[in-house]
Amino acid sequence: MATTMRPDAAPSPAHHHHPTYHEVTRDIAATLGHPKRGYFILFGFVLLVLAAGIVALLYQIRRGLGVAGYSPPVMWAVYVTTFVFWVGIAHSGTLISAILYLFRSAWRTSVYRTAEAMTVFAVMTAGLFPLIHLGRLWYAYWLFPYPNQRGLWVNFKSPLVWDVFAVSTYFTVSTLFLIVGLIPDVAAIRDRATGWRKKLYTITALGWRGADYQWRHYVKAYLYLAALATPLVLSVHSVVSWDFAMSIVPGWHATIFAPYFVAGAIYSGVAMVITLMVPLRKVFRLERYITVVHFENLSKLLLLTGMIVAYSYLVEYFIAWYGGNPIERATFWNRAFGDYWWASWTMILCNGALPWLLWFRKIRRSIPALFVLSLFVNLGMWFERYVIIVVSLSHEYEPYAMGNYTPTWVDWTILAGSFAWFFMWFLLFAKNFPTVSITEVKEIIPWPRRREVRA
Amino acid sequence: MSGHPGGVLAAFRHVDDAAQAIRDLRAKGFADVTAYTPVPNQEIAAAIGRQSSPVRLWTLLGGLTGLGLGLVMTLWMSLDYPIVVGGKPIPSVIPYIVIMFELTILCGALATITGLIVHAVRSRRPAAFDPRFTDDHIGVFVPCAPEGRGAVQQLLQAAGAEEVRIEA
């Protein structure tokens, strides 16, 4: 009978001195509300950067995509790069919350909420970029299936249309997953809160009381959502990779792209989870719930996916050489030794070389080292997409049609604005909803019993 | 809390005590006991002994609806404006699988949530409640007529409840 969420999950070694259920509620509820001055200063800074991004966008809307440096043959550039970057970031959230849930990994309980919230906000950020990249963003509705004035519908054979369906499905499902996980937690906070927050949580708890008939449906719904989200997460970045792989651009047209992109997405996402979790744990004093064990497990995921990414890089170069196609070979020669050599080597260094450090246990268990490494991985993964997109487009078939691209201040400002947009949502979330799941952390703590359990 | 039937509300600390109390109550004929737990618990669920959740049916039907929707939508939208290229058939089913897959997941997830809301939130049964039940206590509520309350109260206290109170 699979009535409980994790019937036989063994508590992790870090929980030898279990906090009591009441301590869990108290400690996690204490992270909410009453922000200090530092929070407001940070939030103000984030809003300022966001405003700068909006100004740059308005300028681009007024003057056209030329101000973003677009010029033939490079008509997909920083915006598509950043779109893929943020969609990739989103992937580890669902990996941790859905796939590790199905694998019954008890350690995920402390980290999954942050990862899931990060997923939702990263998709919200990613979703802006196809629109920004359109140039005439008031025609965004052309993406959706509707008949135009000649009665013609969208082309379902186009990977760009698949992308619309994949990303909007992913956004919807990951948001629902986050909300469902929050319901029992919000109810626990509701029963402790006062004032306007009590009203907010009473509404958002949807009348949750933890009654037996509620849990009965809840555990099933959660299980099926996890089962649906698991193939979804693998499909979304595959579809994103097909945006490239389905075309005949050298450097894009490869069957390895789907697994290569999915592994890269999870790799970048895990890095972002570490980047967010290190300061969060410190500021919220959650050292008791997010321990070195959690970071070590995350870094093992980072190591695994990093090795897959490094392998994909090798295979790409190997096939370019071994395949005997002179165009493909020239493209990869250009990547490594052409005008963009610095971008390619940044990517290879950050994603292909640095994760090898994680073979050392000392580094896996050192939180400062992991934090620094995660920043390099974030940087490297952005450059990976830059290399794939910009460098491939700049160097296709005909030498007379080759040309270089340089990002402008508009690109950089909008890129910075996207980080601000992401952190704005994350900061708002962190002070109003629990960033560590109260319910699931309690689940791995055994209930007090009066009698010994019969063997 | 008003609007619930009168009865007896008990708060337990120990999960085995609460499960035993529920089994004893059911043996005495109290069928509609409500148990509150801060986390889902297998022992309590087994003691309550309810059937599996119908949410899975919602998931299945939602997923199949999405699959059908994806198939019909892509086929119809292609056939509605037939552009014949190289004499090939108008619908191109293999790429449409991507759309069908995404809509299966989307509708399956939306139906699962609808099922959850219909069963767990909308069909909430009136019963007394205490905020401790979302923190660290197990709650047991037994609706019963005023004359039977003394016996129920005694049973719950004997089972090891930390607190038992009559809810009018």
Encode pLDDT of B118-138 as tens digits: 888 766 677 788 888 888 899
Owning domain of residue B67:
55-122
Amino acid A7: pLDDT: 39
Contact A417, A53 (CB under 8 A): yes
Q: Where are the domains of chain A?
A: 13-141+158-443
In one-letter notation, the amino acid at residue A185 is D
Whether B88 has its CB under 8 Å from any CB of chain A: the answer is: no
Contact indicator for A98, A233 with CB cutoff of 8 Å: yes
B90 and B138 assigned to the same domain: no
Task: State whether the Cα torsion A129-A132-A134-A137 is positive or negative.
Answer: positive
Token pair of A315, please? 């295979």
A13-141+158-443 CATH fold: Formate dehydrogenase/DMSO reductase fold (1.20.1630)
Q: What share of chain A is helix, strand, coil (3-state, %, to 5)?
A: 75, 0, 25
In degrees, to the nearest 5, what angle opens at C-alpha A78 toward C-alphas A139 and A379? 140
- SS3 state of residue B16: helix
- Work out how many domains chain B is built from and give that number: 2
Amino acid identity, position A143: L
B92 has a chain A CB within 8 A of its CB: yes
Band the pLDDT of B6: cuts 50, 70, 90.
confident
> Does the beta-carbon distance from B112 to A228 stay under 8 Å?
yes
Task: Give the chain A residue whose CA is nearest to the CA of B74.
Answer: A156
**pLDDT surpasses 90 at B115:** yes
Residues of B in contact with A231 (CB under 8 A): 101, 105
Residues B11, B45, single domain; the answer is yes
User: Does residue B1 sit within a domain?
Assistant: no
Q: How far is residue A344's CA from residue B15's CA, in Å, rounded to a whole number?
A: 58
Q: What is the pLDDT of residue A23?
A: 87
At residue B164, φ and ψ (nearest 5 deg) are -130, 130
Query: Is there a single domain that holds both residue B77 and residue B118?
Result: yes
Q: A305 and A264 in contact (C-beta within 8 Å)?
A: yes
Q: Which tokens go with A67?
A: 């101000």
Same domain as B13, residue B46: yes
| CA–CA dist A92, A119 (Å, integer) | 7
Closest residue in chain B to residue A178, using alpha carbons only: B113
Interchain CB distance below 8 Å, B117 and A206: yes
User: How many CB pairs below 8 A link A and B?
Assistant: 207
Contact B101/A at CB under 8 A: yes
Q: What is the pLDDT of residue A360?
A: 95
Indicate if B118 and B150 belong to the same structural domain.
Answer: no
Residues of A in contact with B113 (CB under 8 A): 176, 180, 221, 225
- CATH number of the domain that B44 lies in? 3.30.70
Condensed to tens digits (0 to 9), the pLDDT of residues B138-161 reads 999 988 888 888 888 888 888 888
| Res A26: pLDDT | 86
Looking at residue B123, its pLDDT comes to 65
- What is the edge-to-edge ordering of all strands in the sheet holding B138-143? B34-36, B138-143, B7-12, B163-167
Would you state the pLDDT for residue B130? Answer: 87
In a domain, B2, yes or no: no
Average pLDDT, 10 consecutive residues per value, chain A (455 residues): 41 60 87 86 96 96 92 92 95 85 86 92 95 89 87 90 94 94 92 87 88 90 93 94 93 93 94 93 88 92 94 94 92 94 95 94 94 96 95 92 92 96 94 90 86 63
Separation of alpha carbons A367 and B136, rounded Å? 32
Residue window 435-454, chain A: list those with CB within 8 Å of chain B: 439-440, 442-443, 447-451
